[in-house]
A and B are shown apart, each in its own frame.
Chain A
Amino acid sequence: MRKFVFFGGKGGVGKTTLSSAYALKCARAGLETLVVSTDPAHSTSDVFDQEFGNDPREVEGVENLSAMEVDPDSEVERHLMETKRALNNQVSPAMVNEIDRQIEMAHQTPGAYESALMDRFIEVMKSSEAFDRVVFDTSPTGGTLRLLSLPDLLEGWIDRLAHKREKSIDLYEKAAIGNNEPRRVMDGDPILARLRGRKERFEFAGETLRGSSTFFLVVNPDELSLRETRRAADDLESYGLTVGGLAVNRLTPEPEPHEEGRGARFLRNRVETERARLRELRESFDYPVVAEIATRVSEVKGDFLEEVAAELDIDATAERPA
């Protein structure tokens, strides 16, 4: 299994449960594991009954397991503060207000949240030497897929920006033939340096997502979830990402054969339709079904989590570097 494992799927299908269970399984197998929640509605804390923050923290009572919950708001805030600090160091007081407004505006655009999340993603992947396995509990399908398509998109964009900048500096240098000092010089241009730094980070993210990450889609045995899973799988493939399998969650338990009555009939019917969906899942998807988890009566916590972990048929060994 690759180092970075992502769990995705429609809202409410049980991504947090399965990713926590898988992380637990990895930790039990002796891998130093980190589980990262990127869903703004964090529930990792609830599963483990502990508070987690923006940085990895060891899960109490479980060896080899750490957890963190990404908080994009504080990331945006941090980025804003950092930029403003640079502003005050660089810019003459007369211009500060002018530029300050622009910076504030950039941090309120709809993309800021996603960008911050992406930044944090890259940061986590970059600084994960201490861990053998990093499990991402992602936000519902749409958001995550958009996020994962970002590195490619942004790389191209930043590339074009850098190209424009290079061209204008080149022209300034040409215009300053003779004794004149060119208005901008290519060497040590802070703008180009920053753009290139950004590009490298996006490249790293793209490579890591394509080369050392596997995605598992959590699906419930119902029509909507199936459809969304198909779309998600197609999208992931089109980004060149590896889908490892489908984890089916919330299967209805079958009543005992001797049981009759309204409840039992209902359950039997339900199980029947779910079987049809399961067949569809197995036949029309190219991915293996790696887990069939039945609905639990109570919240999945503690011992239940262990049970779910045992039912997960996802390899928990680290990929040996070739």
Chain B
Amino acid sequence: MTLADRIGDYRAALEEWLRGFYHGLISHPAYEKIEQEAEDQEDAFMLACFPEAFGIPSPVSYYTAELLPYLEDEFEAWERRMWDRGSLLERKGHQYHF
């Protein structure tokens, strides 16, 4: 293995480490934040669609019911997040990386 190769390997490893470091420090929390914001928006959407899940009558629930077959993942996640208030608080806390 020539010196050039070893330097190359070293640089590649370093680069990967640095990228990982940057990702963990800066970009991952940022993506996570955006994704969580997206989830929050989705929760609001689901709540607007299916408020009768919480006993609030909605004039459009008849129409939004036909969306349900296409909202499997969202619905499951939403129900979990909504019913479990403890985890909802905890979730909010997650957005801040102390």
Within 8 Å of chain B (Cβ to Cβ): is A153? yes
User: B87 interface residue, CB < 8 Å from A?
Assistant: no
Task: Tell me if B60 is interfacial: C-beta within 8 Å of chain A.
Answer: yes
Interface size on B, residues (CB 8 A): 35
Kindly state the separation between the CA atoms of A170 and B34 in the bound complex, as whole angstroms.
Answer: 10
Where chain A touches its partner, the secondary structure class is: helix
Q: How far is the CB of B57 from chain A (nearest CB, A)?
A: 6
Q: What chain B residues lie within 8 Å of A263 (beta carbons)?
A: none
CA gap between A284 and B77 in the complex, in Å:
59
A308–B17 CA distance with the chains assembled, in angstroms? 91
Given A98-B79, A105-B52, A164-B48, the answer on whether A115 and B63 have CB atoms closer than 8 Å is yes
User: Which residues of chain B have C-beta atoms less than 8 A from A195's C-beta?
Assistant: 67
**For window 7-53 of chain B, which residues contact chain A by CB distance below 8 Å?**
31-32, 34-35, 37-39, 41-42, 44-45, 48-50, 52-53
**Which residues of A line the B interface, CB within 8 A?**
76, 79, 82-83, 86-87, 89-92, 95, 98-99, 102-103, 105-107, 109-112, 115-116, 150, 153-154, 157-158, 160-161, 164-165, 167-172, 174-177, 180, 183, 190-191, 194-195, 198
Give Cα A82 to B41, complex, Å. Answer: 28
The answer to whether B5 has its CB under 8 Å from any CB of chain A is no
B48's partner among A112, A160, A174 (CB-CB below 8 A) is A160
- Specify which of A76, A107, A111 is in contact with B58 (CB 8 Å cutoff): A111
Which chain B residues border A83 with CB–CB below 8 Å? Answer: 65-66, 68-69
Our pick among A79, A92, A161 for the contact of B45 (Cβ within 8 Å) is A161
The answer to whether A103 and B34 touch (CB under 8 A), given A91-B72, A158-B60, A161-B45, is no
Name the distance in Å between B90's Cβ and chain A's nearest Cβ.
Answer: 20
B62 close to A112 (CB less than 8 A): yes
Residues of B within 8 A of A (CB): 31-32, 34-35, 37-39, 41-42, 44-45, 48-50, 52-53, 57-72, 75-76, 79
Given A164-B48, A172-B35, A191 and B71 contact (CB-CB distance below 8 Å)? yes
Q: In the complex, A191 Cα to B64 Cα: how many Å? A: 9
Q: Are A106 and B64 in contact (CB under 8 A)?
A: yes
In the complex, 22 of the A-B residue pairs with CB atoms within 8 angstroms, ordered by the A residue number, are: A91-B69, A95-B76, A105-B61, A106-B65, A109-B52, A111-B58, A111-B59, A112-B62, A150-B59, A154-B63, A158-B63, A161-B48, A164-B41, A165-B45, A168-B39, A169-B38, A170-B38, A171-B34, A172-B35, A174-B34, A180-B31, A191-B70
